[in-house]
Amino acid sequence: ERTLGVALAYAQTTAGKRTAVTMLIDDPFNRNDSKGVVDPASAYTAKAQSDSAWVGAGRHSAALAQRAEVRFTGLTPGAEYAIRFFASVAGNDGGLSYVARYTVGGVSQDLDASDNLQTMAVFPSVFADANGEIRFTVGVSPNGTTRHAHLSVVELEAVTLNSAVRADIDGDGDVDANDFNAFEVAHGLRLPQADLAIPEGTFDFLDYVFMLDAMNRNQ
């Protein structure tokens, strides 16, 4: 039976600290296998390199209609993240290859998993929405003849400073009502310190969402 719903609850950081981030599968992969190439020099475990989930079909034309959709939740609304995808499959499916297309926020990148040891598809700047979510899809690339698109590892890394640091407007080491009052004044004057969510000169409701979330997380 194909996995649907929570795939990873309360993900841990690389240091082993539990977080509020959850990964949900909204549109499932078809199957999983353990056909990846293991590189002893890799930073990933042998199991992470060998195991993968895949989506596709017996023919390229049919595989194009298949797609898996995954969602990260529990992120800081409006915050910036980097996402990296890795996949590896031994061989090249009789010359058809294993070229996956990963799409995040309308931007797509292709990755050939055939005998892959290190190459990744990297999205260096992705922003969580107002609900603190980021969605991505996995499917076969329309370029070529690939039948199966694999995903072995996905990394999520916060790019922005810790929300408590950014929202500490008065710089006294905490996030409280004083910071919110200072934020409102700065936001009205369109000062840089109030451009919290997406620091590109857009002063909007996402800044308020970011501020309130930081207050809730740092009470």
> For the segment 29-39, what is each residue's pLDDT rounded down to a tens digit?
999 999 999 99
Is the sign of the CA dihedral 58, 60, 65, 70 positive or negative? positive
> Residue 107: beta bridge partners?
104
Tokens of 174: 């905490």
Q: How distant is the alpha carbon of residue 36 from its chain centre?
A: 21
The pLDDT of residue 166: 78
DSSP string, 1-26: ----EEEESSPBPTTS-B-S-EEEEE
Amino acid letter at 129?
A: D
The pLDDT of residue 200: 60
The pLDDT of residue 161: 59
Pairing of the two strands 99-104 and 68-73 = unpaired
Helix axes 205-217 and 177-188, enclosed angle (nearest 10): 170
* Residue 82 per-residue DSSP state: E
CB 148 within 8 A of CB 58: no
What's the pLDDT tens digit per position in 190-203?
888 888 876 566 78
The pLDDT of residue 3: 47
pTM of the predicted model over 0.85: no
Q: Contacts for 183-189 with beta carbons within 8 Å, 24 or more apart?
A: 183/207, 183/211
Query: Which residue from 62, 61, 113 is spatially nearest to 87, judged by alpha carbons?
Result: 113
The pLDDT of residue 5: 58
The pLDDT of residue 217: 72
How far is the first Cα of the chain from the last one, in angstroms, to the nearest whole number?
42
Dist. CA 168–CA 70, nearest whole Å: 32
Q: Which residue has the higher pLDDT, 50 or 5?
A: 50
Average pLDDT, the chain: 88
User: Residue 176: pLDDT above 70?
Assistant: yes
What's the pLDDT tens digit per position in 148-171?
999 999 999 887 556 677 788 888
What's the pLDDT tens digit per position in 110-151?
999 999 998 999 998 898 998 999 999 999 999 999 999 999
Query: Which residue from 52, 156, 59 is spatially nearest to 114, judged by alpha carbons?
Result: 52
Interacting residues of 63 by C-beta distance below 8 A, sequence separation 6+: 55, 56, 57, 139, 140, 146, 147, 148, 149
Tokens of 54: 């895949």
Dist. CA 162–CA 189, nearest whole Å: 24
Tokens of 172: 């006294």
> Residue 158: beta bridge partners?
81
